[in-house]
């Protein structure tokens, strides 16, 4: 891959990783409620999930969506249901640092990685990247690995920003009412990500 193509991939990866979507809204909420350090497994899970998705789509998984549209509809329904569940969890979270002990916890690495497979924005990013930037012939898998690496290198700072932003917001919230309001707004924003699906 030449420098110009790598730069194009980096710009695309930054745009898709850094703009609002299910991952970033949930990372901001997690950063606010649990802090940056406890949100790291969530972030690493996003990177891992995206890496696996890039490799699977490059290996031909994207063709399944074209040949079997029903699979895409099933994925949309599963994504919608899971996103609403997560939105409900976020909206009703009680941060331990304000209201004593709470059973809430941040998303772990495996949950976060698996969430990518029902995240419509992640599918859009991966399918578009593999369809637009891969090279043909003998250079195909080399370009796939470069794209996956660029997504990891540009994606982590972008999602890290959202977790850090949430952490800063969390430090500014001092009352139970403020926390409830913040979590409610983040839950509604997470539910609003259904617009990406439908």
Query: Using the 8-state DSSP alphabet, how is residue 88 labeled?
Result: H
Residue 94 to residue 80: CA distance in whole angstroms: 24
Which residue in the block uniquely carries the two structure tokens 């660029």? Answer: 150
Domain range summary for the chain, segments of one domain joined by +:
3-197
Q: Of 19, 12, 42, 29, which Cα lies nearest the Cα of 191?
A: 29
| pTM > 0.95: yes or no | no
**pLDDT tens digits, the chain, 198 residues: what are they?**
789 999 999 999 999 999 888 899 999 999 998 999 999 999 999 999 999 999 999 988 767 777 777 877 787 788 788 888 888 888 887 765 555 556 678 899 999 999 998 888 898 899 889 989 999 888 999 999 999 999 999 999 999 999 999 999 988 887 888 888 888 888 888 888 777 666
Q: Of 117, 94, 109, which Cα lies nearest the Cα of 39?
A: 109
Residue 80 to residue 194: CA distance in whole angstroms: 6
């Amino acid at each position: 891959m030449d420098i110009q193509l790598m730069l194009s991939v980096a710009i695309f990866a930054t745009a898709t990783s850094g703009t609002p979507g299910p991952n970033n809204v949930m990372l901001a909420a997690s950063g606010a409620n649990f802090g940056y350090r406890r949100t790291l497994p969530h972030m690493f899970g996003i990177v891992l999930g995206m890496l696996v998705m890039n490799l699977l789509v490059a290996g031909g998984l994207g063709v399944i969506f074209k040949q079997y549209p029903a699979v895409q509809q099933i994925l949309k329904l599963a994504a919608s249901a899971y996103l609403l569940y997560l939105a409900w969890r976020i909206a009703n979270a009680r941060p331990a640092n304000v209201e004593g002990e709470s059973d809430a916890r941040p998303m772990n690495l495996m949950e976060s990685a698996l969430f990518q497979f029902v995240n419509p924005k992640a599918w859009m990013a991966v399918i578009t990247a593999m369809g637009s930037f891969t090279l043909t012939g003998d250079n195909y898998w080399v370009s796939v690995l470069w794209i996956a690496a660029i997504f990891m290198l540009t994606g982590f700072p972008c999602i890290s920003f959202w977790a850090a932003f949430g952490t800063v917001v969390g430090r500014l919230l001092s009352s139970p009412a403020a926390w409830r309001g913040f979590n409610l707004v983040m839950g509604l924003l997470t539910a609003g990500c259904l617009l990406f699906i439908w």
